[in-house]
Amino acid sequence: MEVELFIHGVPNGEGFWGKEDDRNYFGTFYDHSTDEVKFLIQNRASKGKLYCYYNYLVYKTVGSQTPNVVAYDGRDGSYFGLSLRLDAYCKDVMNMYRILDTIYNIYVCGSLLKMEKSKLKYTFSDFANVETKLKTIEAETIKLIQNGFYADSFMPLDGFATGSGNASVFNLYELTTADAMQVMKQSGKIMVSPYYPTMREKKIQQQHDSQIENLRQQCDREKSELKASLTPLKAQVSALQQEVSLRDKTVNQLQKDLQSAGQNKHVGQLVATLKDPVSELSRVLRAIVPGANSSQMASSQPSLLKKVSVLVPFVNFLLLVFVVFLVLAFNEKPKLQPENPTPTIEVVTDTASQQNDEVSKDEQQKTAEGGTDVLLDEVADTKENEHPSPFRQKEKVVNDHQQEENKK
C-alpha cells in the first residue's frame, strides 16, 4: 500500500512540505474556515491514479469564538494541515482520525505551533526551516498506521466515486463504518469532526429553526397589520395637528384682542375722567355766553334746549347782581354820584324783571308751538330790540349823568 504524508499551512504565506504533485490541491484549504478541527476524506485522481486523502485541518483552538491560528508574523487567517494520501480506502475512519490527532497534539502543538495569549502562532516562517521535525512527524505517522490497523482495515478504491462538490457532514462519534463507506462510494467526499452537531442536536436545531421561522412569519404578519392600522392613525394625527395649529392661531388672536381690549378700557377710563370736567366747562361757557352756541343749540335736541332755558333766569339774575354791584360802586364816588340814585336802581330792577318775564313767556310759547330749535336766537333778538340789556341801560344812565355835570 502506498502511503504519503503532506504538511501544509500558512507560516508566512502559503507553505507546503511533501511531493510537489499535489501542491495545488492543498492550497484549496486556505479558505478562512471557521471550523475548529475538521477531518476531510476525499477521493481524487493524481496523475491518472485514484487516491484517498485523509486531511486533518486546524483553524482554531477548541473554545475559541473566532479562528485564532496566526502566521509567524502575527497575521490572522492562517491554518495548519496534516494530510495522508493512500492508494486504498481505510474503513476505520475513527481510528484514522485518532492517529492524525495524536500526531498533531504530540509533535505539532507546542513545537511547530505555540499559544501566545489567545493566539495559536507558528514558530517558524518556512517549512524548510523545520524539515528535520517534519521528517520525524512523517516517520511516526507511518509507524502508527502500520501498527494501528489490521490488514482488512483497507480495501481497494474500485467502485468509489471521485469527490467533488459539497461534502456530507457528520459528527465523528455518530458516523458508522457502513455509513462512511456508502457516502464515499456515492459522492467520494465526507467531512467529519467531533465538534459537529450530532443528529439529535441537528433535529433539535431544526425544530428551533422552525419555531424561529414561524415566529418571524408571525411577526411579519403583525407588522403588516400594524402598518395597515397605522395609516388611519397617521391621518388622525395629521388632522389633530392641523386642529392644534388652528387653535394656536385662535389663541394668539384672542390674546391680541385681550390686549387691545385692555388698551381700549384704559382709554375709556381716561375719557370717563374727562367727561365731568368737560361737562362742567360746557355749562360754564353756556352760562357766561348764552348766545355763543345758538346756531349749534338750534340744531340740537329739544331736551338740551330745555336745559338751557332753565339756566336763562339764573344767568339774568347773575347779570342783575353784577349790574347792581357796578351801580353801587359808581354811587360811592362823589363826582359821579347822581342826585337821585334810587330811580335808576328801580329802573334797572324793573327792566330786569320785565326781561325775565318776557323771556319766560317767549320760551313757553316756543315750546308749546314746537319751535324750540330757534328759541335762544329769538330771545336774544327780543332782548336787544325791545328791552336793552342792563349793561346798556347803565351805560346810558352814566352818560346822561356826565352830560348833566358838564352842563353845570
Q: Is the pLDDT of residue 373 over 60?
A: no
320-337 average pLDDT score = 62
373-392 average pLDDT score = 48
Sign of CA dihedral 63, 118, 38, 149: negative
257-285 average pLDDT score = 73
C-alpha cell at 232: 388611519
Percent of the chain past pLDDT 90, that is, above it, reads 38
Look at residue 7 and tell me if it is in a domain: yes
| Angle, alpha carbons 251-257-259 (nearest 5°) | 105
269-292 average pLDDT score = 68
Q: Is the pLDDT of residue 247 over 60?
A: yes
Say how many C-beta atoms besides its own lie within 10 A of residue 99's C-beta. 23
pLDDT category of residue 96 using cuts at 50, 70 and 90:
very high
174 and 298 in a common domain: no
Look at residue 391 and tell me if it is in a domain: yes
Say how many C-beta atoms besides its own lie within 10 A of residue 3's C-beta. 14
Look at residue 55 in the predicted model and tell me its pLDDT.
96
Q: Are 172 and 193 in contact (CB under 8 A)?
A: yes
298 and 158 in a common domain: no
181 and 41 in a common domain: yes
Q: Is the pLDDT of residue 307 over 50?
A: yes
pLDDT category of residue 379 using cuts at 50, 70 and 90:
very low
Q: What is the DSSP letter of 91?
A: S
Q: Are 299 and 374 in contact (CB under 8 A)?
A: no
Q: What DSSP letter does each residue of 131-157 carry, written as one string? A: HHHHHHHHHHHHHHHHHH--GGGEE--
C-alpha cell at 151: 490488514
Look at residue 335 in the predicted model and tell me its pLDDT.
45
305 and 186 in a common domain: no
Q: What is the DSSP letter of 50?
A: E
The neighbouring-strand residues paired with 3 are: 86
Look at residue 111 in the predicted model and tell me its pLDDT.
92
177 and 37 in a common domain: yes
pLDDT category of residue 359 using cuts at 50, 70 and 90:
very low
Look at residue 122 and tell me if it is in a domain: yes
Look at residue 154 and tell me if it is in a domain: yes
Give the list of residues 6+ apart from residue 373 with CB closer than 8 angstroms, or none.
298, 299, 302, 305
Q: Is the pLDDT of residue 30 over 70?
A: yes
The last residue of one of the domains, among 158, 178, 196, is: 196
Secondary structure element (H or E) that encloses residue 334, with its range: none
The last residue of one of the domains, among 196, 225, 248, is: 196
By C-alpha distance, which of 260, 402, 277 is closest to 330? 402
Q: Is the pLDDT of residue 258 over 70?
A: yes
- Comparison of pLDDT for 342 and 127, the residue scoring more: 127
User: What is the residue-averaged pLDDT of the chain?
Assistant: 79
Instruction: Catalogue the E-assigned strands of 163-234.
Output: 168-171, 189-193
Look at residue 383 and tell me if it is in a domain: yes
359-364 average pLDDT score = 50
7 and 150 in a common domain: yes
- Comparison of pLDDT for 297 and 188, the residue scoring more: 188
Question: Coil, strand, or helix at residue 66?
Answer: coil
Look at residue 372 and tell me if it is in a domain: yes
Residue range of the domain that includes 162: 3-196
310 and 191 in a common domain: no
- Comparison of pLDDT for 220 and 408, the residue scoring more: 220
Q: Are 156 and 89 in contact (CB under 8 A)?
A: yes
Q: What is the pLDDT of residues 174-227, one digit of tens each?
A: 999 999 999 999 999 999 999 898 888 888 988 999 999 999 999 998 888 888
Look at residue 270 in the predicted model and tell me its pLDDT.
66
Look at residue 71 in the predicted model and tell me its pLDDT.
93
The last residue of one of the domains, among 181, 196, 211, is: 196
Q: Based on the structure, what is the number of domains in the chain?
A: 2
Give the list of residues 6+ apart from residue 131 with CB closer than 8 angstroms, or none.
17
Q: Are 55 and 29 in contact (CB under 8 A)?
A: yes
Q: Is the pLDDT of residue 345 over 50?
A: no
190 and 52 in a common domain: yes
160 and 44 in a common domain: yes
pLDDT category of residue 346 using cuts at 50, 70 and 90:
very low
pLDDT category of residue 156 using cuts at 50, 70 and 90:
very high
By C-alpha distance, which of 33, 316, 354, 334 is closest to 195? 33
255-282: burial string, b at 16+ Cβ within 10 Å, e else: eeeeeeeeeeeeeeeeeeeeeeeeeeee
Look at residue 276 and tell me if it is in a domain: no
Mean pLDDT lowest among 1-15, 83-97, 296-310, 324-338: 296-310
Look at residue 118 and tell me if it is in a domain: yes
The interaxial angle of helices 199-288 and 302-331, nearest 10 deg, is 40
pTM, two decimal places? 0.55
